Structure 1
Amino acid sequence: MHWADDPKAIFTRDFAYPRPPRRRLRTMTSAADIAHEPAHDYAEYVFAHSLPELSSPVDPPRHARGKSTSVDKHSRPALPDRIHSHRLRVQAHAKNMRARLLSGPLIDIIVGVGDVKRQWSLHRNLLSYHSEYLASELQTNDATKNKAGNKLELPEDDPKGFELLVKWLYQGKLDDVGDLTSAERKYDYAVACHKLYMLCERFDMPQLKNMAIDQYRKGLSQARLVPDADEINDIYQKSPEGSPFRVLMTRIAARQIMDPDADRDAESYRGCFAANPDFAIDLVNAIKSGSGGILFDDPTNGDDCMYHDHGHGPNCYGKGKGKAGNYKLVKFLDGFAMRVDG
């Protein structure tokens, strides 16, 4: 006889075991995907629509209902609790990082020379964290250039630009040039942002460098002002080859030359051409790229008088006049004569 035919055999299907209630998770919008949703929106959704509490695998006995039951220590917390815990950990990590960076020795930094010279006392840990260049300059071992380790002099830099650097280091932001009222203040702030850009170029701080040039361009646009030829020459000379500021300066000059309403032409930038031969090449390339590929008229076709040595008239051969100069008359045997430069 097969064991399944034994009347004494007991099967689990003969008993009704209690099953935990099925949990129906709330979903987001039909087109939403957690992987594509911003963390802030997803967190707000979870807090607004909290998930049901976790239940035990087996319902408690009838005689135990109504009494407090201990929660399984191995059960996973609800999703809102996990998100809140992660947020607390991030905040705690940021607080610990800030406390560490704002501790330790202070560094005396002297910027500028003469009457504009200013001095700041900044935390060494904060400077070293944001710039490897400053970390190497401020180290105190024997191989460092700054053997004292507590002082740094920047005589060639502008205090206005370094002031913006200090603000970003301790506040994490720059003032928006759009909040300034007058055009003069906007332009002055843009000039300070260029000084900040030069500092970031040397300190290797790309994030702040990009913020500085954005504020510079925004300041010029809102002030409706552009640097003159002398300022462009100075900025171009101080910027390294391939710098975005070189590209910006040549495009500003190209636009001024091509603007029919502007009173500037190529003659205005003669000093730039003389001091920087590369400026002329970059300027021509900027005009070529900014003109949209428009081809000039063919100079070998068209009005011939444009290239004749005479004044304007209806008949260039009959009423034309040569340019003023020293001429003498030469006679030929056949009766013709011509003027040549003496």
Structure 2
Amino acid sequence: MIGNDMVDIYVGPEKEHFHVHRAAICGKIPYFEKMFKDGGFAESYTKSATFPEDDPESFDLLLGWVYQGSIKVPAVRTDDRGDPELSWKPNSLYKLAEKICLSQLQGQVVDTLRDFDRQTYCLSCTKTILNAYSETRKKSGLHRYYAQSLAFILVQGKTCSTWTVNELTEAMSKEVELTRDVLTILRDSGGNVKDPVNEPDCKFHCHADGEPCYKDINKNDYDGK
């Protein structure tokens, strides 16, 4: 039972308002349990919190995950080059999941992105990759996926539109960490870079060794264990 006890959360520079069941968000996310239940923060008394730097659309997806246990993925659209693209922001949602220390959601974001890339036979464009490197933490699962995507494109030429050498050069010159990650993959693989959409899921997750994958946790919940 989630009851009628509610909290108010305001997200983004325009302070978009979300009215959320406190039991639901605290029961699913330890970050909010500490904020709203422990009594050590002002939010536990005011029953409200503000996240001015976060994306309201991503927070709405987070709430979908809280209430339904999965990401509510909006429809696919077409970009200005005619290529299919997601109509939600994986990088922004991943960034939010990092902020609130939610490794399960981080894994789901990457897996949802990989499913899309697998179905469309398309890998993310350089703009999306650069955005992730500027907004999310180094060595994250998302970084590993994007770096291997770019390394695979360089070796195999796989992409849903023709990337010019200038576009690839610009991306790698703008982000030294990306270049380092790609070169490491190329060196360690001897040029035999595997398609990242077909790699084991946990390669791009961020749970610690020995910590259960979110898929195992969900399976156990489904089995009633």
Alignment CA distance shift 1:151-1:237 (3 Å) = same
C-alpha contact 2:91 2:135 (8 A) present in aligned 1: no
Q: Which residue in 1 is equivalent to 2:106?
A: 209
Q: Secondary structure at the match of 1:255?
A: helix
Q: Which residue in 2 is equivalent to 1:285?
A: 184
- The 5 A counterparts of 1:163-174 are 163-174=60-71
- The 5 A counterparts of 1:177-256 are 187-189=85-87, 191-256=88-153
C-alpha contact 1:111 1:153 (8 A) present in aligned 2: yes
Quote how far apart the aligned CAs of 1:175 are.
4.1
- CA deviations on 1:146-168 (whole Å, 9 max, x unpaired) are 36431111222222222222122
Alignment CA distance shift 1:153-1:269 (3 Å) = farther
- CA deviations on 1:121-152 (whole Å, 9 max, x unpaired) are 001122121122112222473x4253643111
Larger Rg: 1
Letter paired with 1:107: V
In 2, distance between residues paired with 1:146 and 1:290? Answer: 52
Quote how far apart the aligned CAs of 1:241 are.
1.7
C-alpha contact 1:139 1:149 (8 A) present in aligned 2: no
Alignment CA distance shift 1:181-1:155 (3 Å) = closer
Alignment CA distance shift 1:261-1:253 (3 Å) = closer
Alignment CA distance shift 1:119-1:176 (3 Å) = closer
C-alpha contact 1:111 1:158 (8 A) present in aligned 2: yes
Q: Does 1:103 align with 2:14?
A: no
Pick the aligned partner of 1:137 from 24, 35, 46.
Answer: 35
After superposition, the CA RMSD in angstroms is: 3.0
Q: Secondary structure at the match of 1:107?
A: strand
Using the aligned pairs only, state the percent identity: 19
Quote how far apart the aligned CAs of 1:244 are.
0.8
Q: Which residue in 2 is equivalent to 1:268?
A: 167
Pick the aligned partner of 2:59 from 150, 162, 172.
Answer: 162
C-alpha contact 1:111 1:159 (8 A) present in aligned 2: yes
- CA deviations on 1:97-130 (whole Å, 9 max, x unpaired) are xx1xx1252111122224xx53210011221211
Higher helix share: 2
C-alpha contact 2:35 2:44 (8 A) present in aligned 1: no
In 1, distance between residues paired with 2:121 and 2:172? Answer: 25
| TM-score, length-scaled by structure 2 | 0.68
- CA deviations on 1:225-279 (whole Å, 9 max, x unpaired) are 4332222111112121220111111112222222357643654244444443222
Pick the aligned partner of 1:125 from 23, 27, 38.
Answer: 23
Letter paired with 2:31: Y
Structure 1: gaps (5+ residues): 1-98, 294-342
- CA deviations on 1:281-311 (whole Å, 9 max, x unpaired) are 1111122327229xxxxxxxxxxxxxxxxxx
In 2, distance between residues paired with 1:110 and 1:283? Answer: 38
In 2, distance between residues paired with 1:167 and 1:130? Answer: 12
In 2, distance between residues paired with 1:108 and 1:200? Answer: 19
Structure 2: gaps (5+ residues): 194-225
